[in-house]
Amino acid sequence: MEMYKLLTFKDLGDERGKLVVIEGGQSIPFDIARAFYIYGSDSTVVRGQHANRNSEFVLVNVAGTSKVMITDGTRKEVVELNKPMEAVYIPKMIWKEMYDFSPDSVLLVLANTHYDGSEYIRDFDEYIREMKNFNKDE
């Protein structure tokens, strides 16, 4: 299973400024059910620290920068989000942690689901247990 995919959106900017469009099912691999954004987190904060049983996400720093640590319990990678045109797609059942937010960071997150707290796995040991079954079933 792929842990993540880097996405580059088209630049529709001109002399008036930049314009970036994100179309559900076209520039990202799912239809968008939810958007939220995270800002005002400083460089000492770690957010996320969860995996989702059903949700897929696209993360893009529309301003500022942050980092995302992505792991499936075996592999571990860090993606730096530092361009409004570049995003990372994270499939379901991938553990993620967002950190190292710049003071001006605005991290936009798009999801394929409406919020349901019960599909979040917030305990890493539990995640590892569920991953064993998930990998068996895939």
* List of residues contacting ligand TYD (CB under 6 A): 34, 36, 38, 47-48, 115
User: Is 77:69 a contact under the CB 8 Å cutoff?
Assistant: yes
CB of 110 to ligand TYD, least distance (A): 11
Nearest to 62 by CA among 30, 85, 79: 85
Q: Residue 11 or residue 123: which is nearer to ligand TYD going by CB?
A: 123
Interatomic CA distance for residues 61 and 45, integer angstroms: 16
Q: Which amino acid is at 30?
A: F
Active site residue 50: yes
Q: Residue 11 or residue 80: which is nearer to ligand TYD going by CB?
A: 80
Q: Residue 19 or residue 35: which is nearer to ligand TYD going by CB?
A: 35
Which of these is catalytic: 7, 47, 50, 62?
A: 50
Interatomic CA distance for residues 13 and 120, integer angstroms: 37
SS3 label, residue 134? helix
CB of 36 to ligand TYD, least distance (A): 5
Which residues are known to be catalytic?
50
